[in-house]
């Protein structure tokens, strides 16, 4: 009973935090001004993810989550919140991100059961965590997609942890984060009254990657858990390939992700694209849990087929758009 009551709190905190930013974001100067990368046309308050951060902190304290998990995530989220107001040099952002990654990884290695963390894997895992934090941030470009995907991804982290009998506190912690994503959504879909901002998107990406490491007692676990964010990885990686192939600078603002093409060039409502991504991600997550016990080969095969299908859809849609633009 106490947990059922507790699970309401993250939703309420996130809801209230979003409401505060919606109401006072303009006065505080925390707003998103449309640019060439934007999928919106008016100034909208950003930083609604502050409620998700508050939920993360409260839930982490309640479930006695390790400080080496909580502190780096909170610090990175607050730096990102500062970046919502003031432009921070990308190199400085990256340095801060890697410092937070190393703090988490070394804390896990020295103070807990390290699982897949070793002196050999620390650097690759730091790249993975920082990359996921940035991928999540880059994928937060239309109404609802970050909140819906976060709800699905962290919910399935909890389900996966429960099925495989991981630490119960981390399972509940994951569910609380999932529900905090749900609390943000009423202010972000179908029309955005507030944006999540880097304080929320970078936090969710960083925390998801940290969960992937904590929940991984083997490479199979790690590979399986990463699939709960499959569409974000697939869209970002395929878009990076397209941009590199076209000679674009990866630091240049853009809106060439598949989800952005659906919402902008094809004119599909943001909430429909986001719900579709969330639904497909949920189906993929179910499949991962179902076949995980069959071994690494089956999980890899599933990812290979899904990624090939995603790339096929992506290039088919991009080709259609390019043909329209040149008048074919």
pLDDT higher than threshold 70 for residue 3: no
Query: Mean pLDDT of all residues in the chain?
Result: 89
Q: How confident is the model over 80-89, as pLDDT tens digits?
A: 888 777 777 8
Looking at residue 34, its pLDDT comes to: 62
pLDDT higher than threshold 90 for residue 69: yes
3-class secondary structure, 44: strand
Question: 31: which strand partners?
Answer: 45
Q: Which of residues 36 and 149 earns the better pLDDT score?
A: 149
Quick one: DSSP state of residue 45? E
Looking at residue 36, its pLDDT comes to: 59
Which of 21-35, 173-187, 214-228 comes out lowest in average pLDDT? 21-35
Q: Estimate to the nearest angstrom the gap between the alpha carbon of 321 and the chain centroid.
A: 27
- CA dist 144 and 195 (Å) reads 9
Residue 297 — pLDDT band, cuts 50, 70, 90? very high
3-class secondary structure, 1: coil
Q: How confident is the model over 198-236, as pLDDT tens digits?
A: 999 999 999 999 999 999 989 999 999 999 999 999 999
Q: Average pLDDT for residues 2-29, to the nearest whole number?
A: 83
Q: Which of residues 117 and 322 earns the better pLDDT score?
A: 117
Looking at residue 277, its pLDDT comes to: 96
Q: How confident is the model over 118-150, as pLDDT tens digits?
A: 999 999 999 999 999 999 999 988 999 999 999
**Residue range(s) defining the domain that contains residue 217:** 2-325
Provide, rounded to the nearest whole percent, the portion of the chain with pLDDT above 90: 67
How many folded domains does the chain comprise? 1
Catalogue the E-assigned strands of the chain.
Answer: 31-32, 44-45
Give the distance between the most distant pair of CA atoms in the chain.
62
- CA dist 328 and 29 (Å) reads 45
- CA dist 80 and 218 (Å) reads 32
Phi, psi angles (nearest 5°) of residue 44: -130, 135
Which of 28-37, 56-65, 98-107, 173-182 comes out lowest in average pLDDT? 28-37
Looking at residue 40, its pLDDT comes to: 60
């Amino acid at each position: 009973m106490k947990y059922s009551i507790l699970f309401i709190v993250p939703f309420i905190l996130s809801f209230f935090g979003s409401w505060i930013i919606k109401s006072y974001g303009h006065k505080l100067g925390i707003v998103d001004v449309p640019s060439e990368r934007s999928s919106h046309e008016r100034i909208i308050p950003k930083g609604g993810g502050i409620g998700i951060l508050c939920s993360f902190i409260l839930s982490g304290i309640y479930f006695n989550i390790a400080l080496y998990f909580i502190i780096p995530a909170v610090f990175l989220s607050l730096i990102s919140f500062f970046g919502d107001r003031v432009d921070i040099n990308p190199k400085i952002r990256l340095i801060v991100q890697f410092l937070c990654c190393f703090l988490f990884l070394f804390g896990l290695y020295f103070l807990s059961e390290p699982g897949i963390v070793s002196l050999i894997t620390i650097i690759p895992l730091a790249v993975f965590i920082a990359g996921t934090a940035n991928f999540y941030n880059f994928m937060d470009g239309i109404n609802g997609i970050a909140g819906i995907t976060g709800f699905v991804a962290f919910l399935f982290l909890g389900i996966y942890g429960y099925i495989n009998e991981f630490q119960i506190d981390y399972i509940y912690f994951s569910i609380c984060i999932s529900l905090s994503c749900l609390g943000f959504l009423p202010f972000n879909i179908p029309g955005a009254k507030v944006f999540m901002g880097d304080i929320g998107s970078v936090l969710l990406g960083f925390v998801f990657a940290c969960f992937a490491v904590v929940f991984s007692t083997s490479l199979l676990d790690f590979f399986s858990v990463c699939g709960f964010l499959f569409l974000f990885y697939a869209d970002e990686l395929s878009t990076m390939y397209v941009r590199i192939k076209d000679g674009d600078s990866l630091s240049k603002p853009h809106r060439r992700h598949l989800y952005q093409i659906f919402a902008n060039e094809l004119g599909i409502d943001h909430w429909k694209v986001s719900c579709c991504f969330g639904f497909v991600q949920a189906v993929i997550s179910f499949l991962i849990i179902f076949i995980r016990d069959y071994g690494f080969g089956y999980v890899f095969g599933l990812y290979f087929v899904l990624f090939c299908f995603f790339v096929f859809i992506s290039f088919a849609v991009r080709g259609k758009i390019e043909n329209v633009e040149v008048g074919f």
